[in-house]
Structure 1
Amino acid sequence: MNKLTFIDLYAGIGGIRFGFESVGAKCLFSSEWNKFAKITYEAFHGDVPVGDISLVDIEEDIPEHDILTAGFPCQPFSLAGVSKKNSLGRAHGFDDPTQGTEFFRVKEILKAKKPKAFLLENVKNLKSHDNKKTFKIIEEQLDTVGYDFKSFIVDSAHWLPQHRERIFIVGFRKDLLLKSTLSSLEIQLPKKRLKNLSSILLKEEDVLQMFGNKYTLTPGTWNALQRHKRNHQAKGNGFGFGLVSPPFDTKTTRTMSARYYKDGGEILIEQEHSEIPRKILPLEACRLQGFPKKCEKFLNGEYQQPVSDVQFYKQFGNSVSVPVIKMFAKIITDNLRKSDRAGEK
């Protein structure tokens, strides 16, 4: 049987690619517009994604493939993104004139190339955005281009010590007759986490020896975060920084986002030697997303770091939790292989 193939759209730094390669699938094509993400993608995977997918000729430039994967831009649908755009009087969702239309590019590729299956990933809020109208449009479009599909909201905290809820849409081409398989499909959660937080975080003495106080917040930033939290508490809501204190074994962090580089407010680590907490290191961010060990070599000093800490924080904050992708990759490839065997009989 030929090896299953996939394309990696809106690839970021290739977290989805790692998941599908782990189950034996081969990547034939990738796209990513951000120049810094492309640098990291090349460091992690050995090839450079093409740029803006909207400028690619679908028929000529995108190869035939079995599986389409896409973590299409989520800012137009995220709670933070919607809130920010509302405050600025700007459009969001499918009214966003740029990012919000990226799903339709995915749809056009599905329509033209007709892969056997797809995996789409986005923020949880995609399902409820605009009184569920956005998701209804997505469902209608996927049905129109010939796919059966099912959506799942999954929290990475079952695999890794980070709360990270995302929506995943798994689809199979209708002629493969896997609709009943999809309808009965349930996510198999692991019995225990692959990693706990203490195995992800460096020991405090090691951080101090290697970096000194580089990742400790400045007094000004720490005071501002505490003031911000007090103001929100006075208003009766729970907004504010997320401080993680030892012992770390059973702890779970908040969701790391692309804005983490600004002040680290989502995930702060309490320190014994200082009253001021520190941010997680880029190396720890890599581990918190479950990236392979080979990626750590670009963050622990073994290999030259390809981009700045700021860019790494943005990239891991925008990325996927690899163990979750591995689970979906196995579901999709197992069903495609079964379908291929059935077709051979």
Structure 2
Amino acid sequence: MLDESRSDFSRLRERAGLSVEALGPILGYSSATLYRWERGEAPPRQAALAVLEDLARGQGVAEAGQPAFRFIDLFAGIGGIRRGFEPLGGKCVFTSEWDRWAKLTYSANFPHDDHEIAGDITKIDAKDIPAHDLLLAGFPCQPFSIAGVSKKNALGRAHGFADETQGTLFFDVARIIAEHRPKAFLLENVKNLVNHDKGRTFAVILGRLRELGYHVPTPRVINAKGYVPQHRERILIAGFREECDFTFDDLDVPSPLNGPKLKAILHPEDGSEKGPDKHYTDATGRVNPKFILTDHLWRYLQDYAAKHRAAGNGFGFGLVGPGDVARTLSARYYKDGSEILIDRGDGQNPRRLTPRECARLMGFDKPGESAFKIPVSDTQAYKQFGNSVAVPVIEAVARHMLPFIAAEATQDPAHLQRRLPLVG
């Protein structure tokens, strides 16, 4: 059985004219996994074979004028989840985001959309949303995050599904899935969603998705630390309209122990960076002094940390250098920057990250690049990046999901037999 599968895999790969290494980014599997298929040590995934058959027939590039798949971007923020899927041949046909400043940043970075950004999703009839193959949603996480729950408890407010303003937005995702029956969906949220209300919230979410008839494999919490120099754990929930053997278990995630360090995303400040980046750096590449903490704020943060240490608490600032990894960037970073303070040495006051460094920390820009447009104030930029996803994580998940989305698309005549584009 395994020998036959290996023969099919090898034959199709050779007909497609691709090496095992070149197939990795296309199929979304590591080279190690593909070599096991090549050697017959494990049976290839049927979805991967379906895509490979398309490539072998010369249909790997999407037909002219036809995207490989159509998707919608809900609770879009500044487009972090979209950035993982669009480069693989997807076309965004609907976007929803209520925050006007996030919409400004989103529009600046996706200027060629043929649709307007819709606002409050609760006021949009699902029938008015275009047909799509894939639903993407990073539904609001504050009601489920540790910080969000603590704050709401302190203020005597409800959280989770009892939070009428945000917690129930998951059900808007569910009603859209029920109306359009997309081939697949990907939902993203904070790690604490699993434990919220002793696991009952998470059980309700998974139960509802499965009631809709979707195959929902075991979700996975992924730490972005293997991709970017930041400890950031988020849960990914994938679902498929048809039963399939998709699993997050074989997603090749880099070890958090060997991930990049902050040096990769910081302004070098030695003049090697190409030109000043707006008001973040000056003509010589030095970081603008506005990002350095004042004596008053630095003293306050030190006193605050000392007070909590004396009480046995773990609260305090996070002072890091180029060889370190940052704590989780949060939406409150604009307030004092305390979770990620860059040590400037020699007894100098530390500084905040600049918004450009935040863009790199979240993977919107590659190290040393400044391509992502930031048209908003520093305060709004910090909120936007702190609320977003780590783009490289989504890119990896997108590659992992795509063979299953494409395999279904090849069987759907309503979508003109669109095929997976050749990427790599």
TM-score by length of 1: 0.90
Asked whether 1:333 is paired with 2:402, we answer yes
Q: Alignment partner for residue 51 of structure 1, among 104, 114, 119?
A: 119
SS at match of 2:130: coil
Asked whether 1:65 is paired with 2:141, we answer no
Q: Identify the residue that residue 91 of structure 2 maps to in structure 1.
A: 26
Structure-2 change in CA distance of 1:276 and 1:204 (3 Å): farther
Structure-2 change in CA distance of 1:5 and 1:35 (3 Å): same
Q: Alignment partner for residue 307 of structure 1, among 366, 373, 376?
A: 376
Q: Residue 315 of structure 1 aligns to which amino acid in structure 2? A: Q
Q: Which runs of 5+ in 1 are unaligned?
A: 300-304
In structure 2, how many angstroms separate the alpha carbons of the residues matched to 1:158 and 1:238?
25
Q: Which runs of 5+ in 2 are unaligned?
A: 1-61, 272-280, 418-424
Q: Identify the residue that residue 165 of structure 1 maps to in structure 2.
A: 233
Asked whether 1:87 is paired with 2:87, we answer no
Give every structure 1 segment of 4 or more consecutive aligned residues whose post-TM-superposition deviation is greater than 6 Å. Answer: 191-194, 342-345
Q: Alignment partner for residue 177 of structure 1, among 243, 247, 267?
A: 243
Q: Identify the residue that residue 302 of structure 1 maps to in structure 2.
A: none
Listed as ranges, the matches of 1:1-345 within 5 Å are 3-46=68-111, 47=113, 48-60=116-128, 62-150=129-217, 151-173=219-241, 176-178=242-244, 181-183=245-247, 185-190=249-254, 195-204=260-269, 207=281, 209=284, 210-245=286-321, 248-249=322-323, 251-272=324-345, 275-292=348-365, 296-297=370-371, 305-341=374-410
Tell which deviates more after alignment, 306-315 or 332-341.
332-341
Structure-2 change in CA distance of 1:184 and 1:79 (3 Å): closer
| Structure 1 position 327, deviation (Å) | 1.1
Task: Indicate if the aligned counterparts of 1:23 and 1:326 stay in contact, CA closer than 8 A.
Answer: no
In structure 1, how many angstroms separate the alpha carbons of the residues matched to 2:189 and 2:290?
33
Task: Indicate if the aligned counterparts of 1:258 and 1:314 stay in contact, CA closer than 8 A.
Answer: yes
Task: Indicate if the aligned counterparts of 2:193 and 2:201 stay in contact, CA closer than 8 A.
Answer: yes
Higher relative contact order (CA 8 A, sep 6+): 2
| Structure 1 position 75, deviation (Å) | 0.4
SS at match of 2:198: coil
Q: Residue 239 of structure 1 aligns to which amino acid in structure 2? A: F
Structure-2 change in CA distance of 1:12 and 1:343 (3 Å): closer
Root mean square deviation, CA, Å: 2.3
Cα-to-partner distance string for 1:69-96 (whole Å, 9 max, x where unaligned): 0000000000000001001110000000
| Structure 1 position 191, deviation (Å) | 6.5
In structure 2, how many angstroms separate the alpha carbons of the residues matched to 1:81 and 1:93?
10
Task: Indicate if the aligned counterparts of 1:122 and 1:167 stay in contact, CA closer than 8 A.
Answer: yes
Task: Indicate if the aligned counterparts of 1:163 and 1:254 stay in contact, CA closer than 8 A.
Answer: yes
Structure-2 change in CA distance of 1:200 and 1:295 (3 Å): closer
Cα-to-partner distance string for 1:141-171 (whole Å, 9 max, x where unaligned): 1011111113110000011110000011011
| Structure 1 position 185, deviation (Å) | 4.0
Structure-2 change in CA distance of 1:252 and 1:211 (3 Å): closer
TM-score by length of 2: 0.74
Looking at CA atoms only, which structure, 1 or 2, has the larger radius of gyration? 2
In structure 2, how many angstroms separate the alpha carbons of the residues matched to 1:232 and 1:184?
39
In structure 1, how many angstroms separate the alpha carbons of the residues matched to 2:176 and 2:372?
33
Tell which deviates more after alignment, 204-213 or 43-52.
204-213
In structure 1, how many angstroms separate the alpha carbons of the residues matched to 2:347 and 2:268?
14
| Structure 1 position 260, deviation (Å) | 0.2
Task: Indicate if the aligned counterparts of 1:298 and 1:306 stay in contact, CA closer than 8 A.
Answer: no
In structure 1, how many angstroms separate the alpha carbons of the residues matched to 2:227 and 2:202?
27
In structure 2, how many angstroms separate the alpha carbons of the residues matched to 1:35 and 1:84?
24
SS at match of 1:15: coil
| Structure 1 position 343, deviation (Å) | 7.3
Q: Residue 34 of structure 1 aligns to which amino acid in structure 2? A: D
Q: Residue 312 of structure 2 aligns to which amino acid in structure 1? A: G
Cα-to-partner distance string for 1:260-294 (whole Å, 9 max, x where unaligned): 00000010001136521000000000000001469
Task: Indicate if the aligned counterparts of 2:183 and 2:408 stay in contact, CA closer than 8 A.
Answer: no
| Structure 1 position 184, deviation (Å) | 7.1
Cα-to-partner distance string for 1:202-221 (whole Å, 9 max, x where unaligned): 12456575554110011111
